[in-house]
Amino acid sequence: MSAIMTAPACPACDSQTLQPTFLGARLGVETCARCGHRAASHRAPRNTADYHAQYDSGGFMDSLRATRQRQARAIVERLRRHVPQPARLLDFGAGRGWFLEGCRDAGVTELAGADISELSVNLLRDAGIPSVQLALPEGGRWPLPLEALPFRPRILTLLDVVEHFPGPHLSDMVRHLVGQLAPELEWVVLKVPVASGLLYRVSRVMAGLGTPQFLEQLYQCGSFPPHESYFTRASMEALLRRVGLEPVDAFGDLDFEAGSLADRAHAARRLPRPLVTLAGQGLGAVAEGLRLQDAWIFIARVGQARA
């Protein structure tokens, strides 16, 4: 008797409704028919260098820093609707510390960062922000060095993080991170890329026409770790509820500065810079006007049963 093959489940909502929607030489994408989640499969060789050393300096980093600092102000302002005096915040996947610096400037007290990158940890410490270096995850578990933290976090931020988690382990990894911080943890803030964004839509159309480079950049093909997921609002809310979190707020973010798209879009470097800048300004205006931003930020409360 032949074994019955079970289709892989959606990483977000756990339904077995994934359907292939794009197949290229370096990237494959499946879409969940129920929640719209995108699950990627990568075939490009992966860069094994320190994650934060894989990106260009100069204009790219300047533009990215401006975006992250702007987002910090927006997130803190929105968070204060629910937590008037935010404090004891741990930024998991803190990167170069720009978000935490923005939080500090906005008056958030007791901050710390965590990252797998030694470069990231050193940059945070140079900025006067306590930080801990993480070991790599173990399947669906990602142990936190809680004894090295200067406080027990009340707020956990996962910004541009969970899309890097392998699809089969996505829910387990988020659940494990949240569970380790109980009972003190009260709030979780997540920022993820979404497939409803204008840049994603345009890149998907171009890939279908035989120009996949823009879509490959969105999924960070060839980097390590790449983007394993692109979310929708429905898929993110499904994931949050699966792991015991209650979504209480969500809002879109452009996730790039309209005037400096030329510095961020590697795939457009062969085009005249003034043309790319003009296109970025136009895309930004349309995306904001139609609410087709390429990232969404979710604020979730830790469920009472979990807390």
pTM, full prediction = 0.89
Mean pLDDT, the chain cut into blocks of 10 residues (307 residues total): 64 98 97 98 79 60 88 96 98 96 96 96 97 95 95 98 97 98 98 96 96 95 95 98 98 83 61 69 84 97 70
Order of strands, sheet of 131-133, starting from the edge strand that comes earlier in the sequence: 131-133, 109-115, 87-92, 155-159, 187-193, 295-302, 245-253
| DSSP secondary structure letter of residue 220 | T
Peptide bond before 183: cis, by omega within 30 degrees of 0?
yes
